Amino acid sequence: MSAGLPTAEDGNSTAQEINRLHGEAVRCCAASRDALHAAMEAAWKAGQLLENQKRIIRRSMGPGAWHLWLEQHFSGSPRTAQRYMLLARSVADVSFLRGMSLRQVYFRLGIATEPKSAGHTLLRRALPRHAVLANRLLGFLKVRPNLLPSDLQTAYQQDLRPLYERLRLLFE
């Protein structure tokens, strides 16, 4: 045998090290997924508590007091509080979001976030006017029709009928 060739014993120890590192990678991935879910769940719970506190503050002290309370009692930025509250309002059960980071959840829900670092800021063009209007209309229409009085439902149908007819042409 030549001196430079690996032996079977070397192969076994290498295989053991490979398998040990593979096991470590699997454990770290699982821990990472659990940590991501815990962070997202904590943000969601914080959002629920912030929403509740906002209602209490506004009811007892008026709408202007909320921002003062937030500055004095919340260690994050007002924008972070807003994102947490949007998350809490948008998601009824966080368990179906398992495996996603908070940033990924925000992206899927359309909640704006800051870039990860200032050096990687992308120049974003303004959304086209039709997209802005469509988003505003969708936000307005989040009210469930069965919760509206029948005369208001009829008025919505009459007002939105021309829009429906034009949009229908785009999708047929």
- Tokens 């991935």 locate to 29
pLDDT at 137: 75
CA distance to 84, 104, 135, per residue, from 110 (Å): 13, 10, 10
State how far the Cα of 76 lies from the Cα of 49, in Å rounded to an integer: 14
Write phi, then psi, for 128 (nearest 5 degrees): -60, 150
Helix ranges (DSSP H) in 62-149: 65-73, 78-90, 102-109, 129-140
Distance CA 64, CA 69 (A): 9
CA distances to 37, 101, 104, 121 from 108, in Å: 15, 11, 6, 20
Cβ pair 122, 60 in contact under 8 A: no
Question: Residue type at 146?
Answer: N
Tens digit of pLDDT at every position of the chain (172 positions) = 455 555 666 778 899 999 999 999 999 988 888 888 888 899 999 999 999 999 999 889 887 888 899 999 999 999 999 999 998 888 888 877 777 888 888 888 888 877 666 555 555 566 677 777 777 777 667 666 666 777 777 887 788 888 888 888 888 7
pLDDT at 26: 92
So what's the pLDDT on residue 82?
92
Q: Six-digit token pair at 93?
A: 């059960």
pTM, full prediction: 0.56
Instruction: Give residue 52's pLDDT.
Output: 94
